Structures are given as structure tokens and as C-alpha cells.
Amino acid sequence: MTKTYLKFRPRVTVLSCCIIFAWVGLSARLFQIMVIDSDIYREQGVRQGQRQEPLLAVRGNIYDTKNIPLTRNIIHYSLGAHPSKVKNKSEFANLISQSTDREPDYYLKRLSSTADFVYLERNLRRDKVEGILGQRIPGLVVDRKFRRSYPHTYVGSQIIGFTDVDDNGLIGIEKEFNAFLSGTNGWVVKQVNGDGISQIKTSFPIKPPVDGANIQLTIDLEYQSILQEELARQVTNAQAKGAMGILMNPQTGAILAMATLPDFNPNLPGNSPLENQKNRTVTDQFEPGSTFKVVVATAAVATKTVSLFDEFYCEDGQFTVAGKVITDHEKFGLLTFPQIIAHSSNVGTIKIAQKLGQKPLYKYSRDFGFGTITGIRFPGEVQGVLRQTKDWSEMSLAEVSIGYEVAVTALQLASAYSAIANGGVLLKPRLVKQILSPNGKVVYKENPEVIRRVASKEIMSTITDILVQVVKSGTGTKAGIQGWLIAGKTGTAHKFIDGVYSKNKYISNFAGFFPADNPQVVCVIVLDEPRYGLHWGGYGAAPVFRRVVQRIINMDDSIQYHRPKKVVQNPLYADVFPNNKSTLLPLATVAPYPKYLDGYTVVPDVRGMSIRKAKQILLSSNMRVSFKGSGTVVWQSPKPGTKKLPGSLCTMGLN
């Protein structure tokens, strides 16, 4: 051995040992990775090379009864970031700020978070992120989603409801049927390269999303618009705190329109008070006043306690019950039973109730659906108040009979009057017509459902005749429409506030249906705290009913036109209403005309009709048409029955 080798042998030995130990350790580690922990690292490799991404389901839409869309899904973008992956946060914040017009400091604050991921912006339109979409910016996450939009803004807002930023329904139909509307998200597995960019491989698994179902409501958008416009008009005119209204098909229980004011814009729900989101026709209760008198009338007729010819002395407008003085809005003397209802005499109604008794009054109140929920599929319905007779005071029989000591919802009132209109059957109100899967298959349907029979058809026909007289000559004359039989009842009630009845705050309401001889629509109008003078149901709510009905008649040809056959009144009511002077004049006193007579055209009578119907009839009679104004025909020239040459001009005045 040389001196040089001996000199460096310790070093060589140490180095050789280190190399040997390193190879042994490396081999052991390699054995552990390749053999012992192979499954773990294989799974980790798969995770690094693949990524499972969600495939979002498209939320189902809501439509009206004529398939007009009430909702839409608009594509929007959300911007997020992984703060730890952003290299130059100041430059990053400036870049995002250029697209969104928000100050860069806002984004710098968000990027200073210690969280793994933060949202920077949500629900942006494509034009806002156009400059970012094509760029690869480290740390930036662009998420493409769908945002709910409501094209008709305020119309039907409390029925439809709205969703949160995650597309979950918060109120209304959006909430009640969220499970149907949401659908089921899917997923797709993508391959990820070394730069972290993912791409779809056809060989990788995928689970397609199942889009949400579409809901078709019973609501008619045109009816809904008319109702909301007329309520808003009267709220302004009467300086009222708010208003409610319902239009309902009495033959099927379908809700045609349902509105509450003040309302809100579901596209910007935060811009209105939270209270405006409530559908008060379902969630709020009130004492109805005289519109509740139909219960007494029905019970009296059904039990044969009172006949149509029975007369009651109404004490010249004042009557004392249990030490409390009950007053009428007018001084009435002797009135028949139908006159008491028509003129809304409290004294007369109480006397009928006293003859009737507690149990029948309670029974028919319950049979009409008061004091129980209607069963409509809508969140937040209240049952109202109708105490059992064992809890009634000495005053309760009188109070309940005239619509006090009871609390009802507008929906309950509409259901009760629908029972009168359809011949005595209480139906479950319906808002949903059907729910359809994305492929068009019916997955849910609400058919007309009978809850109970309230009274016979004959009894309800008698009540309808009485309600017709309310509009013809009683308190509801301002709800009358020339040429149409309208049935209805006015109601005025002092508001119950903090345990006492207010002296200057009222609920004004009107409930009715048309045409009375073939009821197709029930309408309930409620005004909350209208100004004095319009606080009476006949002056505040009844005109709204008339305007709503007039617009529906002019718009909807499915509503059948009614022409009285004779001018004379029903012989029965000639005795029951001896002093009746109808405010409704007949449209015509001539018999139906033939279209042609000796080569001439006989001018038909189109007064009281909508312009659409009038034009149709005149054109079918081979006449030219000209009209002035809008609304219904109030005069025509030439007069009905005049003989004219074919092609002659008929001019109509509308109002």
C-alpha cells in the first residue's frame, strides 16, 4: 500500500460506507413505494392526473296556465381565487378591477385571506368578464353558472318567489316546489396535465345532470296583471296602506290571479322591505265584516229558520245586545230577509242570527272553511280564527254574524264564495296545474278536489239571487256592469289593533262572482286602511271589482256574454223587494234580429260588449266598423234593429 492510499483510506472507507448506506436506503424506500405502499401512490397519481368536476343541472322554469314563462335562467359568471397561488396580488387586483369597475383595494383585501379559496365576484354578465375568459391567470377561477331571472318583475312576484345565489328557492312556488325545480347535479372526470389544465377524455366516466322539472301554474298572467294594476290604482286613489285580491275559478278551485300590495321585484329583492315578500292573501288574516253575512244567510235558508218573505224590524239603525249598541250605516225600518242582506243591515242580520242560534251559525261557518286551512300548496298559510261555541261570550253570536270575532284570509273568503257560485261545493284551492319533467312527462298534477258539500244547489241558487240584488239595488251597486248579472257582497270592518277596535282604520272588502247565472270567476278585493269615505266596501273595494271584471270581459272571449231575457224582475223578488229600483238598465228591448231582411242587413245590438266581440258580430252581419274610445260599447249608430244595406258603417262609442 502506498503512503497516499494509507493517508486517504479512512476517508475512502467513510465515503464508501455512505454510498452503500445511501443505496440500501434508496432501495428500501423504493421497495416501500413500489411494493408496500403501491396502492396509496397509485391512488395519489390518479388524483393528480384526474379531476372530477360537477355538471350543474339547469333549474326548471315556472309558467302560467297559457305556458307563458314566468321565470328564466340566464348564464352568469362568478370569479374566485386561490390566494396562495396568486404571485403578484396587486397586478392581479388591477386586472380584475378593469373588468368589474370595482376598486382594486377590495380585491387586495379579499386576496389577503388565509383561506384556500375566496369568491371575488358573483353573478356577473358575460360582457363583464369577456376580457378575462380567454386568459390563463394563475390562481383565478372562473365559474359559469345559471342565474334566475323574472321577466315580469313585480307581476306575480309573491306567488313565484325568488332564489338565493345558490339557486335555492326562498319563498313562494320557488320554495314550495324547490325539490322539483332543482334537478340533480351530475359530474365528469377530466384528465389533468402537468400545467394543471384539464381536458375531457371520452374514456373517462361521466354522470349527466338531470335538469329540474317545469311547473305550470293555474295563474293567468293577463288576469294577474289586470288585478295588480287595478289594486295599485285604488291604493293610490284611496291612500290605502295596502290591498289584496284573488281571482278564482269556482268550478275547479284554480287560482287565476292572486296579488298583494305593496309588492317587490324578485330580481332585486333587497330593494324592498322584507314584509313586501309576503303573500298576504294566504298568510294574513282580518275581520271581514259584512262579507261574512252569507254564512248567516246560507244557514237560515238551509235550516228553514227564515223564509224569503219574513220581515224584521231593524230598529231604525240601533240595537242593543248584551249592553253594547249595534248600529247600521242607515236607519232601516221593516226589511225582508233578502233586503237585510242586500242593504247590509247589522241589526237585521243579528236578529236572524238570534233566531238561528249558535250551533247552526258555527256549523256553517266551519263548513264554508273558516277557521281551517284551505290546504293550498303554498308556504305560510294560516287558518284564521273561529272559536268554538263553548268559548263564545254573550255578545259573540251577534258579533260573529256580522263578521267580527272571526278572522279570515282572502283565500278563505274566495273559497267560500266559490262554494256559493258552483252550487254548494267547497273545493280545495289550486295554484299548480301540473309539473312536467324535462322530457315532457307529467310527474305531478293537481286535479279539482272536493272538500265537502256546504249546502244544496237549490239553497245556493237562492243565496246567489240575494247577492245579485246586493249589486242591483243594495250596497254593491258600484260593482254592477251593464248587461251582466253580477253577484256579490260588500264588507266594512273596524281594524282590531292592540286589543281594541280602531275608530278610524278600516278593512274595506268586496267578494263576488260573474256571470251570476253561469259563474266563471270569483273575485275578492280587500283594501287595508283606505281613507274615510272609501272605507265602505261598496265605495272602496266594489269599484275595483267592477274595473277588474270589465277588463277581463273585454280581454277574454271565453267569458260568455249575458243578455237578460226580460226586463221585468223575478216575480218572487217583486214581493220580497217591493221598493226595488234596479240601477242596471237592459241592453235592448227588441227581439233577436235575422241577419238579412229583404236584402237589407239588420243592425245587431252590441252595447255592453267588448270591442273584439262587437266587431266580430258586426262583421258577421256584413257591416263595416268604426269605434271611438276604449272599454265596452256604450252607444252605437245606427240603432239596433235598423235596416241598412250590406257594407254600411256602424260607429260605436266605448267607455
Predicted confidence at residue 567, as pLDDT, reads: 36
- Enter the DSSP assignment of 35: I
Burial tier of 95 (Cβ tally within 10 Å: 0-12, 13-18, 19+): middle
Give CA–CA dist 489/476, Å, rounded: 6
Instruction: Identify residue 541 by its one-letter amino acid code.
Output: A
Instruction: Specify whether the CB–CB gap between 363 and 299 falls below 8 A.
Output: yes
| Dist CA 265 CA 132 (whole Å) | 31
Residue 184 burial class via C-beta count within 10 angstroms: exposed 0-12, middle 13-18, buried 19 and up:
exposed
**What residue type is assigned to position 153 of the chain?**
T
3-class SS shares of the chain: helix, strand, coil, % to 5: 35, 25, 40
What are the angstrom distances between the C-alpha of 558 and each of 220, 276, 563?
13, 33, 16
The model's pLDDT over 266-312, given as tens digits with 9 standing for 90+, comes to 999 999 999 999 999 999 999 999 999 999 999 999 999 999 999 99
Work out whether strand 649-654 and strand 624-628 pair parallel, antiparallel, or are unpaired: parallel
In the prediction, which pLDDT does 46 show?
61
Distance CA 530, CA 502 (A): 13
Cα torsion through 117, 123, 126, 129, rounded to 10: -40
Which cell numbers hold the place of 50? 384526474
Q: What is the pTM of this model?
A: 0.76
The low-confidence residues of the chain, meaning pLDDT below 70, are 1, 5, 41-42, 44-49, 51, 134, 191-203, 560-599
pLDDT at 514: 94
What pLDDT score does 80 carry?
Answer: 86
